[in-house]
Amino acid sequence: MPKRFFERILFCERCLLCGKPLENNPFLCEVCLFSLKPSPEEDQITLPFLDGYKTFTHYGWREEKLISLIKFGGIKSLARFVGNLAKPLLEGYIKDKKPDLVTYVPTNPWRFWFSRGFDPVEEMIKGAKLKAEKVLKRRWLARKPLARTKDIEERKRLVKNTFSIEKRFKTRLRGKRILVIDDLLTSGATASEVAKLLKAGGAKEVYLFAFFRA
């Protein structure tokens, strides 16, 4: 089914999450929209190699459905919409942490070319009207998505050696404070692996902003 057609079907007058008729906003009704809130501070966990993190939403059925529509349903405009919703929080986090460099976790290239045709996190960043540098390179791996892998040890094994630093950034990380943006924070295995890599490359501090918490 062509993606355009698919988007038109979904871009209708009903809330994508609860099915109630829409009034003022595209995609989501007011109730679902206002339910999107960051995780409370006390729910924060310690993630190795990371100096801190923030997420745009907490974990709930609405959030789970939303990220699934973006990542597996392939609705690009919804990714931009979420990015725009998260803009104030993301800007606040940047103001607070004052990173020297803002980057993101790139999607699996195999998934990019053969299934979705877009990178959800790149689209959310565009939706937030932010510029992020591509510091990380992701290996071309055809394997099952990490989000569907529940076992923590298996997740750790899968993310190991998945990333490397782009050549032009290899000498530019020393002493830097870096903010990494990702679409989804699950176990934190990816975030930790990336932070470990950046710190091995000389980064002084690494922070994470994730749009969703699962």
Site for Zn ion, rule CB under 5 A: 15, 17-18, 29, 32
Minimum distance from residue 79 beta carbon to Zn ion (Å): 18
How many helices (H) and strands (E) the chain has is answered by: 8, 6
Minimum distance from residue 66 beta carbon to Zn ion (Å): 10
**Residue appearing with tokens 């999607």:** 107
Closer to Zn ion at the Cβ: 29 or 135?
A: 29
Closer to Zn ion at the Cβ: 69 or 102?
A: 69
Sign of the dihedral defined by the CA atoms of residues 141, 142, 143, 146, in that order = positive
Pairing type for strands 177-185 and 101-104 reads parallel
**Alpha-carbon span 65 to 77, nearest angstrom:** 15
Closer to Zn ion at the Cβ: 82 or 159?
A: 82
**Alpha-carbon span 184 to 110, nearest angstrom:** 18
Closer to Zn ion at the Cβ: 29 or 210?
A: 29
Residue 179's H or E segment, with its range, is: strand 177-185
Which ranges constitute the DSSP H helices of 160-188?
Answer: none
Minimum distance from residue 61 beta carbon to Zn ion (Å): 11
At position 183, the amino acid (one-letter code) is D
Structure tokens at 204: 């002084």
Minimum distance from residue 26 beta carbon to Zn ion (Å): 12
Minimum distance from residue 23 beta carbon to Zn ion (Å): 11
Closer to Zn ion at the Cβ: 66 or 206?
A: 66
Give the number of other CB atoms < 10 A from CB of residue 210.
Answer: 25
**Alpha-carbon span 72 to 78, nearest angstrom:** 12
Q: What are phi and psi of 184, to 5 degrees?
A: -140, 130
Closer to Zn ion at the Cβ: 32 or 184?
A: 32
Minimum distance from residue 60 beta carbon to Zn ion (Å): 12
